[in-house]
Structure 1
């Protein structure tokens, strides 16, 4: 169980690594510098390192989970009396149902009706392959093999992603370079073995 929690903690950091090469503001049309990536990596590490011990491991995962649970309880406990009544629970269910209906209407209006099932199936079948990808990334980021990620390891991984995207090596990653990198990743993941000659 501890190993599983550790992997999930590392996964949170690893998932963040590709994002570091994108602007912190979320503006996909902005150019990102190497210095900005270093700053973003430090900020991401500080956010994930819940107990401030200089590494991301199972302890941080547990702390973040407890924090999320406390927030969820506070959200459900509408009157703040320290307990959740049936009325509060029912209201929570009604709110969730309303949000789902609203999302469904938006998708239908955007011409995406019927896609929900396909997306759900893709998510189900992608779980195992996503776990394998996470483990592979963990091996690359956790360079000393201690099942934890240090700030230096996270920053090194973020800069490696940045450098890979920086095609002309000018210390900046443009939207065009990010788009080219995403295209290369998709092509690599979708590459099929070549058919034998004559087939």
Structure 2
């Protein structure tokens, strides 16, 4: 049980901590995205501006311009998003700018003890399967892995 709990904690730490900087950058990225979406620079997003962004994303993914997205086009669009995310991760974590990430660079920003304390809702010093699942669910929805009880 201890080994499984430790392994689960390590997995959660990896899933959540690798995006710690991304969470810190969210306000700046959100502001930049808002600025891009606000086509008329009035400080508000209209339905037309939101719909225009949606149409742009669809058009970028529709490589053959047939008005429909094939599975290949969807995969390619996903690959492009993953590549951008990987590029941002490299920029954030590559401390010596050598174009590769060592394990030390990957782990430099992690604090497993802090994460465990935050995610361990029953404060028993370990993550249960339920706490682990809840953390993963919240992480997927951009809630910093924080359990609902916080």
Q: Could you tell me the TM-score, scaled by structure 1's length? A: 0.37
> Could you say which structure has the greater relative contact order, defined with CA pairs below 8 angstroms and 6 or more residues apart?
1
